[in-house]
């Protein structure tokens, strides 16, 4: 699981000049005096690049070593020519320490966002920046808007050891976050610590806490000290000799909470816990973005139909957020993606809606039910399946209006 390719902060190419072997960094800075002559000579004769790596023994800050192909591919290809800048390479994702480097990394990070994830550049950069700065991040937004997807994407983009915990799915928060006490006839009672304990002791780890809002309140209590910037420890009350475990340097937490943007988060989650996070709110996609995503994901499905799906979703979202809403929630992106999967497999729009959309809406109340309302919207786009003309602006305005 852990991806620990260590990348150098400076890479040098060696050139021979007279009887000297000069080292030039990719920025064009002469580094000869920093590197031993033997090391430079070997690199020149072996025709390889050398890089300045953080030292493992801790006495000296760094060590110059050969840059292997693996490290090169982790860093990108831009190292052959002097002048190309190390900071410009987006896949060089060791946590940068210099301010200029951090700035450059954040502002060139949009290229790290997977194409299939729709998220504005600003939100993505904010997410990356919060991660690089070691903030506890909480992704919020309504169901199926991409919180888990974005959290996983940011974890993948930073080439740091990563751990995933789904707190919504666990029945046993203490076992998941601390560990379990077992009994064995030979050894008696013993304690086995959780993967989470290992995770928080891994320097620079990125730890995903999915569905934190659905977690048991015990989990929130356990996490309280772990997430607090002033405390950063986990209490292992089961284990007497070692009462607390310190969170290692550089550990970043990314949590997701299924909290509608329309709610104040504290209504759903403990305020003290929420206060420990930087909130990154996932936007519900606009009709244009939804269309773009669906067309990107389903290039073989008729684009006009995909655009209609985006329109349907958008109409339900507008309606659900209006003051006099007749439906309590809009169709999520998760649902539109599922629905288009059905279209791709040969189901009609009407059939797809029937199985993927309608069950989400209450049918009590007959003609006044939420389900009937949503059906009416869908049907405007289904009547004979072919013509966009069926959808007229008046009807759309009517559906969007709050009366
Ligand atoms: N912004 C988005 N960009 C691309 N795909 C998206 C987006 N939002 C949702 N999806 C699609 O919906 C699916 C579900 O998204 P995801 O699991 O991230 O939602 P979530 O916000 O975590 O939902 P929940 O609140 O139920 O946990 C994704 O697999 C993807 O196909
Ligand atoms: Mg999720």
259: pLDDT strictly greater than 80:
no
Q: Is residue 356 pLDDT above 90, yes or no? A: yes
**Maximum Cα–Cα distance across the chain:** 91
Ligand that lies nearest to the alpha carbon of residue 296, given by its number in the listed order: 1
| Mean pLDDT, residues 270-287 taken together | 91
In the chain, what percentage of residues exceed pLDDT 90?
53
Mean pLDDT check: name the lowest of 30-34, 126-130, 256-260, 325-329: 30-34
**How do residues 126-171 score in pLDDT, each as one tens digit?**
999 999 888 999 999 989 999 999 999 998 888 788 899 999 888 8
* Residue 226: per-residue pLDDT: 96
Asked if pLDDT for residue 319 goes beyond 90, the answer is: yes
Q: CA–CA separation, 81 vs 52, rounded Å? A: 17
Secondary structure class of 249 (helix, strand, coil) = coil
Task: Give me the mean pLDDT over the 11-38 stretch.
Answer: 79
Asked whether residue 21 carries a pLDDT value surpassing 60, the answer given is: yes
- CB of 148 within 6 A of ligand 1: the answer is yes
Which is more confident, 22 or 301? 301
Whole-angstrom distance, CA of residue 82 vs CA of residue 88: 13
Residue 376 has pLDDT above 80, yes or no: yes
CA of 337 to the centre of ligand 1 (A): 9
**Of the bound ligands, which one is closest to the alpha carbon of residue 259?**
1
List residues, by chain if needed, whose CB lies under 5 Å from ion ligand 2.
Answer: 148
Q: Kindly give the number of the ligand 1 atom that is closest to the alpha carbon of 139.
A: 21
**3-state percent breakdown (helix, strand, coil) of the chain, nearest 5:** 40, 15, 40
Alpha carbon of 364 to ligand 2 centroid (Å): 29
What are 60-75's pLDDT values in tens digits?
Answer: 578 889 998 888 777 7
Going by pLDDT thresholds of 50, 70 and 90, the confidence category of residue 5 is confident
Pocket mutation for ligand 1, best pick of 145, 283, 298 (most atoms within 8 Å of C-beta): 145
Mean pLDDT, range 278-301, rounded to an integer: 96
Gap from CA of 362 to ligand 1 centroid (Å): 23
Beta pairing partners, 191: 181
What is the per-residue pLDDT across 304-314, written as a single tens digit (0 to 9) for each?
Answer: 999 999 999 99
Confirm or reject: Cβ of 339 under 6 Å from ligand 1: no
Rounded to whole angstroms, the Cα distance separating 128 from 118 reads: 15
Q: Is the pLDDT of residue 110 over 90?
A: yes
Task: Give the pLDDT score at 258.
Answer: 82
Is the minimum distance from the CB of 8 to ligand 1 under 6 angstroms? Answer: no
For the chain, the average pLDDT equals: 84
Q: Is the pLDDT of residue 284 over 50?
A: yes
- Give the closest residue (by CA) to ligand 1 atom 17: 148
B/e letters for 189-201, b = 16+ CB within 10 Å, e = fewer, are eeeebbebbebbe
Place of tokens 């006099």: 324
């Amino acid at each position: 699981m852990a991806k620990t390719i260590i990348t150098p902060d400076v890479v040098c190419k060696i050139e021979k000049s007279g009887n000297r072997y000069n080292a030039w960094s990719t920025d064009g800075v002469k580094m000869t005096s920093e590197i031993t002559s033997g090391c430079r000579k070997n690199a020149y004769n072996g025709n390889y690049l050398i890089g300045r790596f953080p030292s493992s023994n801790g006495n000296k800050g760094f060590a110059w070593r050969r840059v292997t192909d693996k490290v090169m591919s982790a860093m990108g290809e831009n190292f052959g020519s002097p002048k190309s800048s190390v900071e410009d390479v987006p896949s060089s994702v060791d946590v940068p320490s210099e301010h200029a480097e951090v700035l450059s990394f954040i502002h060139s990070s949009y290229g790290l966002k997977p194409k299939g994830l729709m998220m504005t550049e600003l939100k993505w950069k904010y997410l990356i920046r919060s991660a690089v700065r070691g903030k506890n991040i909480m992704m919020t937004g309504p169901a199926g808007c991409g919180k888990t997807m974005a959290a996983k994407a940011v974890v993948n983009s930073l080439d740091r050891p990563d751990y995933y915990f789904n707190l919504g799915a666990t029945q046993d928060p203490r076992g998941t976050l601390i560990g379990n006490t077992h009994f064995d006839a030979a050894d008696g009672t013993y304690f086995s610590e959780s993967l989470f304990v290992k995770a928080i002791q891994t320097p620079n780890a990125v730890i995903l806490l999915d569905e934190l809002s659905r977690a048991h309140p015990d989990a929130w209590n356990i996490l309280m000290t772990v997430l607090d910037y002033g405390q950063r420890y986990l209490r292992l009350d089961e284990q007497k000799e070692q009462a607390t475990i310190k969170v290692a340097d550089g550990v970043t937490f990314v949590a997701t909470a299924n909290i509608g943007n329309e709610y104040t988060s504290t209504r759903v989650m403990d305020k003290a816990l929420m206060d420990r996070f930087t909130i990154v709110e996932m936007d519900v996609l606009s009709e244009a973005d939804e269309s773009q995503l669906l067309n990107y994901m389903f290039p073989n499905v008729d684009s006009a139909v995909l655009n209609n799906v985006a329109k349907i979703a958008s109409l339900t979202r507008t309606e659900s957020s209006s003051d006099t809403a007749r439906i309590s929630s809009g169709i999520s992106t998760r649902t539109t993606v599922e629905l288009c999967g059905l279209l791709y497999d040969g189901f009609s729009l009407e059939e797809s809606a029937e199985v993927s959309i309608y069950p989400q809406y209450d049918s009590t109340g007959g003609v006044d039910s939420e389900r009937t309302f949503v059906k009416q919207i869908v049907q405007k786009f289904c009547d004979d399946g072919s013509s966009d003309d069926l959808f007229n602006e008046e009807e759309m305005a009517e559906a969007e209006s709050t009366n």
